Structure 1
């Protein structure tokens, strides 16, 4: 990667997304590049039925979660690298895929949900792997394995 490469990381506050951000920070430290951490403020879709978007305050809440996750993860990684924060008022997978159109790498966490819950809720990581216009790295949180 070069200094101009763009690394997009999906963040939702989960341990998996924190692990993805830690991975991206380490990768960017070694390979270079700019990191954008994206959080979606839409309610996840269930079984192809889009849920209504949350009311007022959802974007502000998402921005606060994103600020906290980025700050805590950078501090725990002892990394002073700038991380651009982006709040998108959409569902997770569509928001990540739209932004990935201008990214060189997409990094997402894996929550470890499987079986019926995984089938019912769908998987943002799986959807991104199948449809992203750039390479995708799925990071497992060591504690959820």
Structure 2
């Protein structure tokens, strides 16, 4: 379990994506009252000066955005995924760029971001390059699994910190339930079941976050497409690491991976305590 005094860790690799992610992390650190730790991983002595320059340049931009914010830097040696995962054990949040293509293009590629998001001990936010919106709702996909329950709690916390509306979505796909299309009456029944499941999941947390305005959306469709579409108007899209609930296959890791690759807004991937223990 993370604590308030643990930092937000940002992976830096010299790319514009990583700098953009660090800028996003400044706003998150302000909301959380947390310190920032910018980490660059370098295993080539010949690039040591470039690594130091890249991480300090990113830190200077963060300090310029928020002079009161505590910003530290670290140059780590080793493999990027291993080092970032090691730092995730002592972080309350990790923030990464969508892909790296700067001076250290091999250090923080999209594949590394995905690997860290899959195995991190803390929630991971992947920020794609472009200007992420700071308005609009926090959106979260749920399916009743332990992983999505952790994602839902994280989304409530984020919405409360940002003073934003929370859009809670449960997307079902009939191909995941039966071999063939459902007849209309069965489709209506499944829709009602999903709506009830969604209401129960939201109700379980709403009393703890009474000030968060929520909107619920249960719909038939493909989870990646539906969540990506919701991300067009969202300031943050939250997904669980994998699904193990009543609708197996609706929210598997492949869906989280698809959202990471296609969502136009920052994406948070949250693992349950059971996942992080494995």
User: Do structure 1's residue 68 and structure 2's residue 69 form an aligned pair?
Assistant: no
Distance (Å, rounded) in 2 between the aligned partners of 1:112 and 1:41: 14
Q: Secondary structure at the match of 1:29?
A: helix
SS of the residue aligned with 2:121?
coil
2:123 corresponds in structure 1 to 135
Aligned residues: 124
1:27-65: CA deviation from partner (whole Å, max 9, x where unpaired): 1112211110000013xxxxxxxxxxx2x3433321121
Task: Give the whole-Å Cα distance in 1 for the aligned partners of 2:86 and 2:114.
Answer: 16
TM superposition outliers: structure 1 runs of 4+ over 3 Å:
none
Give 1:22 shift: 0.7
TM-superposed deviation, 1:3:
4.6
1:39 equivalent in structure 2? 40
TM-aligned CA deviation for residue 91 of structure 1: 2.3
For 1:8, the equivalent position in structure 2 comes to: 9
Q: TM-score, normalised by structure 1?
A: 0.74
What is the deviation of 1:72? 2.9
In structure 2, relative to structure 1, the CA distance for the partners of 1:97 and 1:84 (3 Å cut) is: same
Secondary structure in 2 matching 1:124: helix
User: Aligned equivalents of 1:67 and 1:128: distance in 2?
Assistant: 23
Higher relative contact order (CA 8 A, sep 6+): 1
- 2:19 corresponds to: 18
| TM-score, with length taken from structure 2 | 0.41
Report the 3-state secondary structure (helix = DSSP H, G, I; strand = E; otherwise coil) of the residue aligned with 1:102.
Answer: coil
Q: 1:58 aligns with which of 47, 63, 71?
A: 47
Q: Which structure: larger Rg? A: 2
8 Å contact from structure 1 (residues 5, 32) kept in 2: no
C-alpha RMSD of the superposition:
2.3
Q: Hey, what does 2:29 align to over in structure 1?
A: 28
Residue by residue over 1:93-143, the C-alpha shift from the partner in whole angstroms, topping out at 9 and shown as x without a partner, is 111111111111111010289xxxxxxx76111001111011100011117
Q: Output the CA distance in 2 between the equivalents of 1:4 and 1:112.
A: 29
**What corresponds to 2:73 in structure 1?**
85
Q: Is the 8 A contact 1:15 1:111 kept in 2?
A: no
Give unmatched runs, 5+ long, in structure 1. 43-53, 114-120
